[in-house]
Amino acid sequence: MGRSSLLSEKPAAHIDAGSDAGLVTAAQRGDGSAFGRLYDRFAPMVHGIMLSRVSAADADDLVHDVFLTALRQLRSLRNASAFGGWLAQIARNRARDYYRRGPQKDEVQLPDALPGAGAESASAEAEAHAALRIIQELPEAYRETLLLRLVEGMTGPEIASRTGLASGSVRVNLHRGMKLLHERLSQKERP
């Protein structure tokens, strides 16, 4: 393919059907299964963003809401390769609206302090909720990145690629966020 072809709009046949952009383009043309594959790839990112802002009990339902919104608005997305950043912004917006609209489900009651080491196996659930709450109280940029890394299991490069954020920013947020998290966890463990 010549240089001029690459600079012009790609015909459908030249779009990599397996790439994110290819799936977005296919979904925009009415391919529901392509959107399902996008869900598989991006749902963890949306879930992590939600979990940084809402209770774990509500995050799953809101993930579904975000994808329905994205499905409705997909044809307005002009740049298929910007899908991840666009979807992340829909998720943040949905989380913000969530607090503006009506009462929410009751939060799970969490312990104020982390349990001692001797009770670890019996209270892992409570410890997990306590750690989650501490992360949710960190500054927004840190908690989102940390939850994508620690809960969803995404690596730093994957977080940058999916959310559209710069790698450098993600790396800084991960390191600073982890440092702050260590400090907060240490404070909680003190008697």
Partner 1 sequence: MSDDYLWDRSGKPEPDVEHLEQLLGRFRHRRPAPEFAEVVPESSGARRRRVLRLFLPWPRLIFATAAVAAVAAGVWYVARMGHGRAQPEQGWAVTNLEGAPRIGKEAIAQSGRIAVGESLVTDQSSRARIQVSNIGEVVIEPNSRVRLLETGTNKEGLALDRGGLHARINALPWQFYVDTPSATAVDLGCEYSLTVDDAGAGLLRVTFGWVQFYAGDRQALIPAGAAARTRPGLGPGTPYFEDVSPEFRSALDELDFGHSGPEARAAALNLVLSQARKKDVLSLFPLLIHVPKSERGRVYERLAKLVAPPRGVTKGGILRRDSRQINLWWDQWGLEHPKK
Residues within the interface to partner 1 (CB under 8 A) = 27-32, 35-37, 39-40, 43-44, 46-48, 51, 56, 59-60, 63-64, 67, 69, 71-79, 86-90, 92-93, 99-100, 124-125, 127-128, 131-132, 135, 139-141, 147, 149-153, 155-157, 171, 174-175, 178, 181-182
* CB nearer partner 1, residue 14 or residue 29: 29
Q: How far lies 188's CA from each of 54, 157, 176, 191, in Å?
A: 22, 31, 19, 8
Beta carbon of residue 11, minimum distance to partner 1 (angstroms, whole number): 14
The answer to whether 24 touches 80, Cβ cutoff 8 Å, is yes
Structure tokens at 43: 């749902």
* CB nearer partner 1, residue 16 or residue 60: 60
Beta carbon of residue 13, minimum distance to partner 1 (angstroms, whole number): 19
| Rounded-to-integer distance, Cα 79 and Cα 33, Å | 20
* CB nearer partner 1, residue 31 or residue 110: 31
* CB nearer partner 1, residue 30 or residue 191: 30
* CB nearer partner 1, residue 63 or residue 180: 63
Q: Residue 52: CA atoms inside 13 Å, Cβ hemisphere, count?
A: 26
Beta carbon of residue 120, minimum distance to partner 1 (angstroms, whole number): 10
Nearest alpha-carbon partner for 148 in 126, 173, 182: 173
DSSP state of 76: G
Element (H, E) at 165: none
| Rounded-to-integer distance, Cα 116 and Cα 100, Å | 38
Beta carbon of residue 16, minimum distance to partner 1 (angstroms, whole number): 19
Beta carbon of residue 149, minimum distance to partner 1 (angstroms, whole number): 7
